[in-house]
Amino acid sequence: MALTLADALRQTGYAQDGQLQAPAPTQPNLSTMAGDYFAQLPEKTVQNAINTNNIVQNAMPYNFEAHQFEHGPTFNEFVTQMPNFMGSYLKSPPAMPHPEVGTRFEREFLGGLAEKTPQKIEDLKGSSLMVMPWDSTSRNYAVKSISGEALPRDVITHGGQDYARDLGHIEQNIAGASNLGIAKRIQSRDAQARAENLAAGGTGDVIHLPITMGEGGENFSIMPTEAMLGIIDAREPSKKFVKELDASIRAYKDPQTGKTPFSDFAGVNNEAGRMQLYSGEGIKGTAGDLRKVFINRTAGLKGRQEYLGFNAEDLAAALRDPALEGVPKGYVGNTVIKVGPEGMHLKPSQNPTYTTNFTGQYMGSLGNNVPIETLFPKMFPKYQQAYAHQKGDLRNMAIGGLQTKKDNFSELVDQQVIDNYYKYLEQLGKSGL
């Protein structure tokens, strides 16, 4: 019998077919929404804890006391004495990248996503655009192998821009998810963009454009960590390797504070340590930041890729949305989300990484990934000018400002925006891209 999407997600604790109800046909007021939110919070908190426990249990197939990973050479012996025996790791220097690196993975699409509706930029005239940073992971894929190595358990992807495209989320008017503090900030920026839009004679509609993040932007989420733990379990590394890995995580210093927030990390190969990677329990930093350091200390180091027998490029590609393959930082257009004059609302989330959903209507796709400059011809130059005298990458600073500022960050869709968009597409056509 074929495995359905609901069954697959239920096995991993993601509860795609959970108990959330579709929104009422009439829009509740803010006080009602707040009351409903906090009324449901204890139940949702319990459900989130159950979901997290299910994920962690799936990530722990071994009896760690009985399974000591004694076999094989230590990390240093392996790399220095047996350099030609690299498992399924392929050398791929920047000057001469291996053509297969970044392509070696198996995954299965589980369905459950709406078709991408073509959206014309001219149909958005009178609304205001704003951007939100969004990682490039996929949704509703079962990742089965990485770098030729079968994972002990499938990794079910659950994030990315297709979060808004999920059929269940469309029914519930859910556009995205984040932790509560960030979700509140998104909600406030949505309200500010609407106020600026109406003041300029707009429609009151705010169009949210997920904008691609830089390399590694996905590492805060659970998915890379879950895949990495599968690779570690499949390779069964030596005690020496595990000890060095754990020590490097505990020794990490926050570059801003100089402190070591993960000095109390319990370790990769025991239940307490794996729980910390999902919940953050017992560490000074957040679980998301711990996951970023964990991936940096494994997939971020060539020597550890060699020992574990995988390429980081394969890991990242296995989790990536196919529509965003090769798309660099600062591009928009793949996903279009509308929040009308009624405004954005927050709801408890069953997402394994984030606690809070925010509402919005999935509108489809422009059909092209375009640089942010194309759709923000008025605002982007202003931000470049504002940061012109600061040190750093000017484009990245301008993008950061448009993503985080509390006001004057939205772009009214007028004829200039429309013309600029089609001019860019025309230039692409002329250049053969």
* Residue located via tokens 């890729």: 305
Give the contacts of 395 (CB within 8 A, at least 6 positions apart).
330, 384
Full pLDDT tens readout for the chain, 433 residues: 454 444 443 444 434 333 333 334 444 444 444 445 445 544 544 455 445 445 545 555 444 333 333 333 444 444 443 333 344 899 999 999 999 999 999 999 999 999 999 999 999 999 999 999 999 999 999 999 999 999 999 999 999 999 999 999 999 999 999 999 999 999 999 999 999 999 999 999 999 999 999 888 999 999 999 999 999 999 999 999 999 999 999 999 999 999 999 999 999 999 999 999 999 999 999 999 999 999 999 999 999 999 999 999 999 999 999 999 999 999 999 999 999 999 999 999 999 999 999 999 999 999 999 999 999 999 999 999 999 999 999 999 999 999 999 999 999 999 999 999 999 999 988 655 4
Phi, psi of 116 (to 5 degrees): -80, 110
pLDDT tens readout for residues 129-179: 999 999 999 999 999 999 999 999 999 999 999 999 999 999 999 999 999
Write the secondary structure of the chain as one string of H (helix), E (strand) and C (coil): CCCCHHHHHHHCCCCCCCCCCCCCCCCCCHHHHHHHHHHHHHHHHHHHHHHHHHHHHHCCCCCCCCCCCCCCCCHHHHHHHCCCCCCCCCCCCCCCCCCCCCCCEEEEECCCECCCCECCHHHHCCCEEEEEEECCECEEEEEEEECCEEEEEEEEEECCHHHCCEHHHHHHCEEEEECHHHHHHHHHHHHHHHHHHHHCCCCCCEEEEEEECCCCHHHHCHHHHHHHHHHHHHHCCCHHHHHHHHHHHHCCCCCCCCCCCCCCCCCCCCHHHHHHHHHCCCCCCCHHHHHHHHHHCCCCCHHHHHHHCCCHHHHHHHHECHHHCCCCCCEECCCEEEECCCCCCEEECCCCCCCEEEECEEEEECCCCEEHHHHCCCHHHHHHHHCCCCCCCHHHHHHHHHHHCCCCCCEECCHHHHHHHHHHHHHHHHHCC
Q: Cα–Cα distances in Å, from 30 out to 231, 258, 289, 344, 355?
A: 46, 42, 33, 10, 20
* Cα distance between residue 59 and residue 57, in whole Å: 5
* Cα distance between residue 399 and residue 371, in whole Å: 10
pLDDT at 31: 44
pLDDT at 428: 87
- Asked if residue 99 lies in contact with residue 164, where contact means CB atoms within 8 angstroms, the answer is no
pLDDT tens readout for residues 226-261: 999 999 999 999 999 999 999 999 999 999 999 999
- Asked if residue 75 lies in contact with residue 243, where contact means CB atoms within 8 angstroms, the answer is no
pLDDT at 278: 94
For the chain, report the end-to-end CA distance as a whole number of angstroms. 44
Using CA atoms in the order 128, 373, 211, 229, what is the torsion angle rounded to 10 degrees?
-170
- Asked if residue 201 lies in contact with residue 381, where contact means CB atoms within 8 angstroms, the answer is no
| Amino acid letter, residue 62 | Y
- Asked if residue 267 lies in contact with residue 261, where contact means CB atoms within 8 angstroms, the answer is no
pTM of the model: 0.79
CA neighbours closer than 13 Å in the CB half-sphere of residue 27:
12
CA neighbours closer than 13 Å in the CB half-sphere of residue 57:
9
